[in-house]
Amino acid sequence: MKLPIPVNIVTGALGVGKTTAIAELLKHKPAVEHWAVVVNEFGEVGIDQAVIEGSTTGDQRSAGFTVREMAGGCMCCTLSGPVGAAIATLVRRVKPDRLVIEPSGLGHPAGLLDLLAGQHLRTALDLKAVICLVEPSQVADPQSVFHQHALFKDQVSVADILIASKTDLASPRALQHFEAWAQQLYPPKMRVETATRGSFALALLDVPRTPLLLPMSTAASMSGSGGSFRQAAQIGVYHSCGWIFSPDDVFNKQHLLHMLAAVQSTVVRVKGVFRVGKDWVIPATNSAGELVLEPIAYCRDSRIEIIAAPTAPAKTLDCLDQEAFLESAQSHQPDCTSSRSSADSTPIVSVQDMELVRAIKLHRWSTVESHLLSLLPRQPG
């Protein structure tokens, strides 16, 4: 046995084809390797182990794999203690060349990731890219359980690689919808692939996990400041800049929400994931059209990406900035050709907000970065 042992998590919703995919992987694994598979089923009577064994030729030992099943609970939460001990025992006894873990379709893989990265296992295991199987027809149907339950979205959030499963059963429209949906996910995925009858490329198992500082664009320049990393790029006439912060950095939730509200009407696009307290959130718009911060399972780092329009003529910027803020405050459009009287009842715009928006419009990213860093307390809490 050579340490550390590569570990793969294959997650996804109930019925998406995880067990079939693992059985296919076992059929095509290198003959000289012995793999260990840990299968978690939510029910009291396990079925997946029998399915995997029945899908391969010969018994486990002759086929070069060992399957251990944990039924009766979710390894991501209620079974997290026993799972740690079971994995350690399995590694010690079987000495596998690779460990593949299939959490329950009702399980949240974030807890399992924390377990594998814990002090008792991290020196023996090399966690590779987390693979999530998603059925395109479920993504294409807004009424499907995939869209109704946050758990399945969380499974996607923590994954590094997305695989469209059951593509042989999906319509061309569903496949197109899946591709468009996968490409707009934030943070972006390392790979988006497809599987037919449970089969996907074996090489995906050796893809490293998403690095903490995953580039947000290909043609970008990077600089570091105050523990953050900045990347800037130009795509056509548009200017893009993104920042990545340490997972230890904690943003002030209210100040963050205020900042996002200030800039959202003045940029082409703004996306982000932020740690606030012990949780991570992502900006979204609710049914009332209000900007809110929704929880997200992703917790690798905090990051924000801004895409700005071409620089406006400098002489018009003051007017444009004022106009954007006044419009967001549901006030009248300012008259930039005449001076305003002291009796004007129009809401006063924050000087800091005005400076931030002006910096974005002029693509002065270091100034924007200083504003972002001001949202971080000196000590994470």
Ordered by where they begin, the domains of the chain are 5-206 (3.40.50.300), 213-381 (no CATH)
Alpha-carbon Rg for the chain, nearest whole angstrom, is 25
- By mean pLDDT, which of 140-149, 224-233, 361-370 is the weakest? 224-233
**Angle of CA points 96, 100, 106, to nearest 5°:** 150
pTM given for the model: 0.67
The amino acid sitting at 361 is K
pLDDT at 6: 95
Tell me the average pLDDT across 326-339: 40
The amino acid sitting at 136 is P
| CA neighbours closer than 13 Å in the CB half-sphere of residue 267 | 25
Per-residue pLDDT tens over the stretch 98-123: 999 998 776 667 778 888 887 778 88
Cα(294)–Cα(174) distance, rounded to whole angstroms? 27
pLDDT at 297: 81
User: How are the residues of the chain apportioned to helix, strand and coil, as percentages rounded to the nearest 5?
Assistant: 35, 25, 40
Per-residue pLDDT tens over the stretch 267-293: 888 888 999 988 889 898 887 878 899
The phi and psi torsions of 6 (rounded to 5 degrees) equal -65, 135
* Confidence check: pLDDT of 203 > 90: yes
How crowded is residue 133: how many other Cβ atoms within 10 Å of its Cβ? 25
* Confidence check: pLDDT of 48 > 70: no
Beta strands 279-285; 228-235: pairing state: unpaired
Q: Which of 349, 360, 374 is nearest to 269 (CA)?
A: 360
How crowded is residue 322: how many other Cβ atoms within 10 Å of its Cβ? 18
Tell me the average pLDDT across 234-249: 81
pLDDT at 311: 66
pLDDT at 206: 94
pLDDT at 63: 67
Burial environment of residue 71 by CB neighbours within 10 A (0 to 12, 13 to 18, 19 or more): middle
* Confidence check: pLDDT of 343 > 80: no
- Residue 132 pLDDT class (50, 70, 90 cuts): very high
* Confidence check: pLDDT of 46 > 50: no
CB 352 within 8 A of CB 297: no
Beta strands 238-245; 228-235: pairing state: antiparallel
Cα(185)–Cα(39) distance, rounded to whole angstroms? 28
The phi and psi torsions of 162 (rounded to 5 degrees) equal -105, 135
CB 41 within 8 A of CB 47: yes
Cα 335 from chain centroid (whole Å): 44
How crowded is residue 182: how many other Cβ atoms within 10 Å of its Cβ? 20
- Residue 153 pLDDT class (50, 70, 90 cuts): confident
Q: Which residue has the tokens 């012990």?
A: 278
